[in-house]
Chains A and B, each alone.
Chain A
Amino acid sequence: MTPSILRVTQSETEAPDTPDYLWKVAGKPVCVRIPFTLMDRLGDEVEESFGSLNSRGSELGGVLFGRVIPARQSWTGTNSDPATVCVEDYAVVACDHTGGPLYQLSRADLVRLDGVIAARTASGVQAVGFFRSHARRGLSLGPEDVGLMRSRFRDPASIALLVRPSVPRTRTAAVFIWEDGRIQSESSHLEFPFHSLAQTSGKLLHEVPAQGSGSRLVTAAPPANAAGAQVVPITSRMELTPPPAAPPVELPEEPASTAAQESLRISLAGMMEKEASALAKVLVLHCRATIVKDRSYNVLLVDTATRDATRILRERVADAVIVIVSNGADREMPGTVTLRRPLAPEIVGDVFAEVSKLVAGRAAPLPPQAVRAPRGSKPLAFTSLYDLAAAYRTSLSKGESFVVNIEEHRYSLYPGRHLFKSNYSPTELRSLRGNMSLAIDVSRPADAISGDGSLGLSLQRLEEFLWHLGFNAGVGTLLPWMGDQHSYRLSRWPPVVRKDNDSTLVKLATLMAMARRTLRPDELAQTTGISPYIIADFLNGCSLVGCLEEFTVPPEMAPAKARPKHPLLKLLGRIRLKLGLT
């Protein structure tokens, strides 16, 4: 027995009695084990940072610690088992974000990172790689990531782990490894859902008894067309139709008890402080709810009269039940629950009994992908605004009229005439944002192009509909035809502010209008200080409306020179201060 084999046996015997995720690709020199507990903890931290107002949606990252089980050699001298990187812990390393919201380490950040590695190494723990959250398009390493690997994680078994928050779909991760002295930075050999539930609930996953001890490895059965990969890669979001060879993923039915046990975790972030305080007492005492202040909520209460209501709704957790607190005469928003004033305990109790059922219903697993009928024979069907927006761009915008039913709200669209008619406002799409289980179908052609006053149908500009569809489709990520390395310019003022005059969007549009040059999404984020997710939504809306010019190769620009602040800019600041403008 060679020493290396001896170590393997010893290590596996010492493995904790918790299930791990195994990232393994046939023929690759390294596989990676990540405990589900760590996966969930890290994933939650990434999502919390993603949704945090303080971090403005910036990326976070740090160092992965653990151990490496060397490759096991067969008697022929060839590697039969790859080296196994066991990730056991991680440490977040703060980033100054001097260059914007992306996790790109400055010199001071690198000193901090070295300090973290040195401190842990001194206590006998090995740094096995680095991780960062990924708030960009795709899942690939940037040049600065590769630089970090080359400078700090040169060991052939070192890894890089990227985690993309669950917007708009499943939280996803990718592992990057060294192969013959280089890293395939453009894409990982395997992307995988980064959540223990996603790993353990699918029928494609099964348990493999670990050798030796009580340790369990949960891995996926290899798909027929995946060349030895052990986990089915998630379907690319850009696909509008599933590849024929991929069988549909069937998720097991959620046990009834799990859904029933889903507790109410309520956020009152969108409510006036005094009223929220009184309501919190009622909710805790009468509804046995927990009031939370982070993004772990499954119910969000919003008073639409509060100043930040629009932003709070826009940045909400995708699957949360929205409760709109309103006055008696206010209209109900589709897809939400309305809680009308006065907020007497019995009224609150009744409403939250209904909310509990909705929460339990939403805890059930969602269908993994849209169900689509063959084009031409039956109506097209989609389950998210994202898919509808993509379909509009690729095929539906080609002139012919069509009817789209979104959760039983009928919109007749006439792309050739730039008009639509409906008795529903497209602003209602906001409440469907991020929902991946919508009932959307499209059929051709629409009825005659004329308003029907008796039914409350009036012809309206199509751009109004497209703006709201585009703005709410990506939920913080760019739509499939766009790129975060592309640069953009407004060709005309977008219909952003017609109804709600959102000052953040006005600011964005204003900057783009006056820039007289093209700007990448990250440049926009850096210049305005606005979250890259809002910028992505804004660009999506503009793009679908058609008021955005896109450049894959931006014109060469001289960088702005550092200069003292001009008196004019100081004056503008003083005016803003006086008028209470932020």
Chain B
Amino acid sequence: MFNQEHKILFTGHMGAGKTTAIAAISDIAPVRTEAVNTMQHVAAKMMTTVGLDYGEITLDSGEHIRLYGTPGQSRFAALWTILARGALGAVILLNHSLPDATERLEEFLDAFKGLIFEAGAVIGVTHTDLAPEIPFEPYYEALEKRSMVLPVLALDARNRQDVLGAIDALLSLVEANWEESARGTV
């Protein structure tokens, strides 16, 4: 078991809070590959991830859980596929205040379909304080269209407890998924 490596993916569109969420739970200072944001119309921030973010959790047994944050722009989709390989599961982050949040969710559900069915994913909805009146219903419908029943959790990516809540749900999901596979119903 010693020195075995596992990974959890943080994905989502630009400005959803992937980098922040990793920083909230990583044991090490996250490694960031950021560049000046040239898409200010999508997310109003100076810098954005262009390669990937990397954080790490070291278990008592010595194993490392690697936390990868994918770049948010769809032009990096090839990298998403590579990162998804062998992951324990994914946390898909959504900026609730964006008008096209549902379309973005659909994009990620389709891109990570394989990982979602094989392992599991949790939808973390961020920035809910900016749009409290907008319902989650469109997200449920997007999932329902794909016959997916995934946890949809409101979270603040800056809050460690919120991010851990999403990880907890993801672990439960992976566990339940594995149990069901072993039972032979999948």
Contact = CB atoms under 8 A, between A and B. Distances in A.
* A joins B in a complex: yes
Interface of A: 418, 458-461, 463, 490-493, 495, 497-499, 501, 503, 506-507, 509-517, 557-558, 560-561, 563, 566-569, 571-572, 574-581
Given A501-B162, A579-B167, A509 B143 contact: no
Given A558-B184, A566-B178, A569-B178, 9 more contacts: A491-B144, A503-B168, A506-B153, A514-B173, A568-B178, A571-B63, A578-B57, A578-B59, A581-B167
A516 B164 CA distance: 25
Interface of B: 1, 6, 25, 57-61, 63, 65, 120, 133, 135-137, 140, 143-144, 149-155, 162, 164-165, 167-169, 171-180, 182-186
A501 B164 contact: no
Contact of B60 (A461, A514, A578): A578
Contact of A493 (B151, B154, B172, B180): B151
Contacts of B25: 579
A558 B183 contact: yes
A565 to B, nearest CB: 11
A241 B170 CA distance: 45
A49 to B, nearest CB: 28
Residue in B65, B168, B183 with the greatest tally of chain A CB atoms within 10 Å: B168
B140 A513 contact: no
A411 B143 CA distance: 30
A492 B151 contact: no
A514 B164 contact: no
Contacts of A517: 180, 183, 185
Contacts of A557: 183, 185
Given A510-B173, A579-B25, A492 B164 contact: no
Sorted nearest first, the 8 A-B pairs with minimum C-beta distance are: A514-B176, A513-B149, A510-B172, A461-B135, A581-B168, A506-B169, A492-B140, A572-B171
A132 B171 CA distance: 37
Contacts of A513: 149-151, 173, 176
21 contacts: A461-B136, A491-B144, A497-B153, A498-B154, A503-B165, A506-B153, A506-B168, A513-B151, A515-B180, A563-B182, A566-B178, A571-B6, A574-B59, A574-B60, A575-B171, A577-B59, A578-B57, A578-B59, A579-B25, A579-B167, A581-B168
A568 B175 CA distance: 8
A576 B172 CA distance: 10
B12 to A, nearest CB: 17
Residue in A461, A501, A557, A560 with the greatest tally of chain B CB atoms within 10 Å: A501
Contacts of B61: 574
Contacts of A572: 171, 174-175
B177 A514 contact: yes
Nearest to A500: B154
A308 to B, nearest CB: 14
Nearest to B149: A513
Contact of B149 (A463, A493, A499, A579): A493
Contact of B182 (A458, A495, A566): A566
Contact of A506 (B6, B172, B175, B186): B172
A485 to B, nearest CB: 21
Given A515-B176, A575-B65, A560 B182 contact: yes
A579 B164 contact: yes
A510 B176 contact: yes
Contacts of B137: 418, 461, 463
Nearest to B140: A492
A501 B167 CA distance: 12
A572 B175 CA distance: 8
Nearest to B125: A498
B149 A492 contact: yes
Contacts of A558: 183-184
B154 A499 contact: yes
A501 B155 contact: yes
A107 to B, nearest CB: 26
Nearest to B171: A572
Nearest to A507: B172
B133 A506 contact: no
Nearest to A307: B161
Given A491-B149, A516-B180, A558-B184, A579 B175 contact: no
B133 A493 contact: no
A486 B173 CA distance: 24
A104 B143 CA distance: 40
Given A499-B154, A517-B180, A574-B61, A460 B169 contact: no
Nearest to B133: A458
Contact of B152 (A459, A460, A491, A493): A493
A146 to B, nearest CB: 31
Nearest to B134: A461
Contact of B165 (A461, A499, A501): A501
Contacts of A567: 1
Nearest to B122: A510
A511 B173 CA distance: 7
